[in-house]
Amino acid sequence: MLPPKPRDPATVREEILEHGLTADRARELADALEAGCRLLEALDVLVEANRLQRDVEVERRLVRLRRDAFTQLDRSLPSPEWPPFVPEDPPGIPEGAREITAGELTPGVVRSGIQRHGSILVRGLVPPARVARLRHAIDRAFEADAATVAGRATAETRAWYDPIDIADGAIAHDWVRKGQGVFAPDSPRALHEFLETVDEIGLGRLIAAYLGERPALSVEKCTLRRADTVTQHPEWHQDGAFLGPSVRTVNAWFALSRCGRDAPGLDIMPVRLRRVLATGATGEWQTFFDWVVSAETIARELPGVPVWRPAFEPGDVILFDHLTLHRTAVSPDMPNPRYAIESWFFAPSVYPESGSTPIVV
């Protein structure tokens, strides 16, 4: 027996207006919209359905819908002039590293922070309750990933680990595990928790305003981390060396534990760079990584610029882009693991041509 044909979206909307929105009606509306190939609308309605009633199958479906809906984003308008115009900083703001409180965060501050200082650290942007939920999600995702690798996956673990198809998937998943990470889109429930946090703190709207369009994540560049000092690669790099210099990005790096002192953090060169620096380094990483920026290049290009190692607290978020020179901050006297989420937001109109699987925000 064939499943019933979805009703017309207008009919379902009339029913919602008449009787109110429920999870069942939201799911039915999403079904009708998706059947009519209105994927972006279906995505937004299905998110609302899951807010009304959490459902594992809805969360798994959302990951695939976010990927498929990318093709329907409007990328017909020409890209805005980039880099954008940025006014001079107000008096009293020094050069170098920029830190603000969550209440000071605006699209203009994001623009000036990244375009004039190379990055901007927002203290206390994620509320403690949300930090706790995200840390719990990371733990569950890691447990489910381990269970899947061991052949012990169950219906419950698939809520927390259900890998999406990507190019060179086996290699990519092995790579991220060795780096003590799990791709967030591979964990349907963790991705939902993360994007709900992004929405709640208003970060998605700020990034959309900065990029000039609704952003998309990348499966390969949105990573849950629970990392110690064992498998870190502390090499200076700019992500533009492999993403391409013409992309428009914001990396929102969420600290979910104290880090940079007793757990691995980030080292950043607190200066705005306008191009991708020459790459190439000697030593053990030369064979594996062609994006490393050598100490000699840094000394030549950035003489006298001090390394900035922020002391992160849980809930801090630092924003930077593909031209920011950075590396993992790690030393043997850091005994604790770092809980963090690395999330690269892209302007879809100049999305990387290869190596990235889009996820609509």
What CATH number is given to the structural domain containing 326?
2.60.120.620
Q: Is residue 209 part of a domain?
A: yes
Q: Rg of the Cα trace of the chain?
A: 21
pLDDT tens-digit readout, 9-27: 999 999 999 999 999 999 9
Instruction: Tell me what percent of the residues of the chain surpass a pLDDT of 70.
Output: 96
Tell whether 151 and 37 lie within a shared domain: no
Q: Is residue 306 part of a domain?
A: yes
Q: How many domains does the chain have?
A: 2
Domain around 32: 9-72
Tell whether 49 and 108 lie within a shared domain: no
Tell whether 65 and 149 lie within a shared domain: no
Tell whether 123 and 206 lie within a shared domain: yes
Tell whether 134 and 172 lie within a shared domain: yes
DSSP state at residue 86: -
* pLDDT: which is higher, 253 or 95: 253
Tell whether 44 and 127 lie within a shared domain: no
pLDDT band at 1 (very low <50, low <70, confident <90, very high): low
Tell whether 139 and 288 lie within a shared domain: yes
Tell whether 136 and 202 lie within a shared domain: yes
pLDDT band at 65 (very low <50, low <70, confident <90, very high): very high
Taking the C-alpha atoms of residue 117 and residue 228, their distance in angstroms, rounded to an integer, is 29
**pLDDT at 80 (0 to 100):** 83
DSSP state at residue 259: B
pLDDT tens-digit readout, 131-185: 999 999 999 999 999 999 999 999 889 999 999 999 888 999 999 999 999 999 9
Taking the C-alpha atoms of residue 142 and residue 349, their distance in angstroms, rounded to an integer, is 33
Q: Is residue 130 part of a domain?
A: yes
Tell whether 130 and 252 lie within a shared domain: yes
Taking the C-alpha atoms of residue 148 and residue 152, their distance in angstroms, rounded to an integer, is 6
pTM: 0.94
Nearest to 138 by CA among 83, 195, 193: 193
pLDDT tens-digit readout, 266-323: 999 999 999 999 998 655 544 456 789 999 999 999 999 999 999 999 999 999 999 9
Sequence-distant (≥ 6) Cβ neighbours of residue 267 within 8 angstroms? 234, 236, 307, 308, 309, 326, 327, 328, 329
Q: Is residue 236 part of a domain?
A: yes
Tell whether 120 and 40 lie within a shared domain: no
**pLDDT at 287 (0 to 100):** 47
Tell whether 46 and 148 lie within a shared domain: no
